[in-house]
A and B are shown apart, each in its own frame.
Chain A
């Protein structure tokens, strides 16, 4: 009788342990899948926001580019960095101060040699956790190269 009860307990223990092992294993796999999905979704959001920021900066630059003074004012409003100017953007992809920034857009403005009427720009958007070392180490989230021609400037000259 006693032997029979002991055997039943052992079987129950084995069954319980197997269930626990399978459950744990499945939970680990599911957690990894959720983590991977979360990271992919984060990257997707970051890419979307970075491309929106780059396009915004390009449009603003080209609107200011028609007039030398307006362009100089636009650049003066940005922070000067080693290879251009930087602007800060929040999580919602709108302009903000450095302290609330989630993204940093670094842009350069060049006039083509021999023709100042062609404005070339390269805009790189970095995630802000790496803002301080962005230009040294980290890859930008998104880079946009654009150019705009202002025929009236050529005529003026």
Chain B
């Protein structure tokens, strides 16, 4: 009587060891790829965040310059300097508060990426000016928990 032959290729100890080594190599390779990929994404995000914050700051600096230019313009007009300045600032989209001997203008820049700058500048009757507040805000939905910082310490 012919006995039934078993499958000729057997899985022995050596095969198991090789399979284990292969699995280890593959798992480590995948882990290394996943880790490198997340590191890459994080660096891209950090770089983009930095670029966005500098751009928002650049917009704010332009607004500060505009406020000073309007002050110079108001100085050339006839009538009350502070009243003229207030009108000019309001026409250019600034929030304006009139104080004794000064006009304080506040603004928030258009968002660039996830950032916007909120600042206030006081322009005095003697021609001087001071930046009262300057804060860079992260306005992205997930980070909008009052996360703000000053880029220039102004």
Contact = CB atoms under 8 A, between A and B. Distances in A.
B69 to A, nearest CB: 7
B55 A145 contact: yes
A120 B65 CA distance: 12
B64 interface: yes
By size class, the interface of chain B is 35 or more
Given A33-B29, A33-B33, A37-B33, A144 B50 contact: yes
Contact of B29 (A29, A50, A147, A154): A29
B65 A112 contact: yes
A41 B58 contact: no
A15 B46 contact: no
Contact of B43 (A33, A47, A58): A47
Interface string B1-39: 000000011100001001000100110111011011101
Interface string A128-157: 000000000000001111111101001100
Given A23-B18, A26-B26, A145-B58, A37 B35 contact: yes
Interface in B86-138: 127-129
Contacts of B30: 33
Interface in A1-54: 11, 14-15, 18-19, 22-23, 26-27, 29-31, 33-34, 36-38, 40-41, 43-45, 47-48, 50-51, 54
B61 A118 contact: yes
B39 A151 contact: no
Contact of B36 (A38, A142, A149, A154): A38
